Amino acid sequence: VNAGWLTTALILLPVAGALVVWILPLRPFAVGSTALLVALAEVALWIDAVARFDFNKPGLQLDQQQNWFSDLHVSYHVGFYGFSLWLTGLTVVVLAAATGYAVWAGRERPRAYYGLMLLLTGAIVGVFVAQDLLLFYVFWEAMLIPLYFLVGVWGGPGRLRATLLFVIYTMAGSLLMLASVIVLGISQGTFDLISSGTSSSDWIFLGFVAAFAVKAPIFPLHAWLPEAYRESSPEVAAVLSGVVSKVAAFGFLRIAIAKFPGPVSDFRTPILVLAACGLIYGSLLAFRAPDLRGVIAYSSLAQLGLIMLGLFAVNDLGLNGAVLQMVNHGLISATLFLLAGGIERRAATGELGRLGGMARGRPALATVLMTTGIIALAVPGSSAFAGEFEILAGVFTTGWGYAVVGAVAIVLAAMYMLRLISAVLHQSPGPAVSEAALDLRPAELSIVVPLVAILLVLSAWPAAITDRSFSGSATQSVAQVFR
């Protein structure tokens, strides 16, 4: 039985939840709890989808199609592939954790806040499941709107400047993508991603690339990133770097790489070079960043460069590794941002120079931060190592130089993550750390420990994802445009 309704339900449940918290006159606390319940129900729905999904079968599953504008061949067409199922899982889990964190921390104007968070969830899931170009674009834009508000209204003191940068950059990208969507749809005679063929147009390709590259972001289009990640509330930063950047990487895989085999091979070298530059650039800046958020933000830039290396290697190792690393990095950076939020609450600052010595008497914080940090620096044996290893092994066959750059980045990653860990946990307490600063509370633990637990399970069994992202060979799957 095709359970296509499940996919639609995954989109509609959070949207309905958003409407409920907007319309019903609930008390602030009840609003948060309702939102959290909806987010958890969404996770349950996703687990149901995994249970129903047949990972050995090629092509789209749990799909549903309804005509929308039949003369333009636009339809509401949704469904899952293995890799989009994992990315959706990442989304619902991280959004649930982010919602949980917001409930714990308390946010002003809760009805608007949680409504936007839920709307955001629905829109991101929509991007991952959309099988129609126009639908993809609609969800893409629908995802950005709540983000503008979440950064701009609930952010820190510099939020307006951050939002302005973020809006202008992403709008520019989106406009180019809109044009590409329209031209591609009209030239193909259909907007359906399944039934349309591939295109050889460089310009349409670049339009998509612009949007995705801004959103990821890819060096040097990342000017909005440090401000946005620093000024948002921790849970929004977690969603931005954990999930929204993956939407862009997903776009590269689902549309840019699958639909434009010709342009991909034309533009592969410049893209790989930019990705490699971003990897080193981000790692070096992360090593010098003066604050917690800065380190995580620039490491995020570096990791996106790495994921791009894997994607544009366009071979089995690279693609599988990239999907695994998307999930890894999503969980890692979300956890790190939420922990950074917890630390900032205690010390009232994220400046590394004013922190320190927090391990003493705070075993839970020390254990969780240490574990996450160690996975983040991809210690061999961790799931992040598995992802990086596949990516670099994949790009090695494309050009060994990229793998050497990646190897240098492994060392740099060790340097910046250990710096962060030590600056927070070790040596004597910094001026901003008071004796009274508490260890992680049970509520905070219940938010971050599940994320870390997933990372540990993935470390024991990364093949859970690599073996279930593409049916058979990833390269073949991409070459046949996932049919």
Is the Cβ of residue 41 or residue 223 nearer to other proteins in the bound state? 223
Is the Cβ of residue 40 or residue 179 nearer to other proteins in the bound state? 179
Residue 20 Cβ, how far from other proteins at the closest point, in Å?
Answer: 31
x/- letters, 198..217, toward other proteins (CB under 8 A) = ---x-xx--x----------
Distance between CA atoms of residues 160 and 65, nearest Å: 40
**Residues near other proteins (CB under 8 A), total:** 79
Structure tokens that stand for 53 in this block: 């999904």
Distance between CA atoms of residues 250 and 243, nearest Å: 10
**Closest to 333 (Cα-Cα) out of 391, 249, 209:** 249
Is the Cβ of residue 112 or residue 369 nearer to other proteins in the bound state? 369
Is the Cβ of residue 7 or residue 371 nearer to other proteins in the bound state? 371
Kindly indicate which of the ranges 43-51, 139-147, 197-205, 256-264 contains the residues binding other proteins, using the contact rule CB under 8 A.
197-205
Residue 344 Cβ, how far from other proteins at the closest point, in Å?
Answer: 21
Per CB under 8 A, 403 contacts other proteins: yes
Per CB under 8 A, 434 contacts other proteins: no
Residue 106 Cβ, how far from other proteins at the closest point, in Å?
Answer: 29
Residue 78 Cβ, how far from other proteins at the closest point, in Å?
Answer: 25
Kindly indicate which of the ranges 48-56, 133-141, 254-262, 358-366 contains the residues binding other proteins, using the contact rule CB under 8 A.
358-366
Per CB under 8 A, 165 contacts other proteins: yes
Question: Is the CB of residue 239 less than 8 Å from the CB of residue 98?
Answer: yes
307-336: contacts with other proteins (CB under 8 A): 316-317, 319-321
362-381: contacts with other proteins (CB under 8 A): 363, 367, 370, 374, 379-381
Is the Cβ of residue 12 or residue 223 nearer to other proteins in the bound state? 223
449-468: contacts with other proteins (CB under 8 A): 460-463, 466-467
Residue 35 Cβ, how far from other proteins at the closest point, in Å?
Answer: 31
In the numeric block, the tokens 């129609």 are attached to 132
Per CB under 8 A, 163 contacts other proteins: no
x/- letters, 380..399, toward other proteins (CB under 8 A) = xx---xx--xx-xxx-xx--
**Closest to 60 (Cα-Cα) out of 10, 13, 2:** 2
221-260: contacts with other proteins (CB under 8 A): 222-224, 226-227
Is the Cβ of residue 95 or residue 478 nearer to other proteins in the bound state? 478
409-428: contacts with other proteins (CB under 8 A): 410-412, 414-415, 418-419, 422, 425-428
Residues 6+ apart with CB under 8 A from 300: 225, 229, 241, 245, 282, 329, 333
Is the Cβ of residue 145 or residue 408 nearer to other proteins in the bound state? 408
Tell how strand 61-69 and strand 74-80 pair up. Answer: antiparallel
260-299: contacts with other proteins (CB under 8 A): 281, 284-285, 287-288
Is the Cβ of residue 95 or residue 332 nearer to other proteins in the bound state? 332
Polymer length of the chain: 483
Is the Cβ of residue 154 or residue 281 nearer to other proteins in the bound state? 281
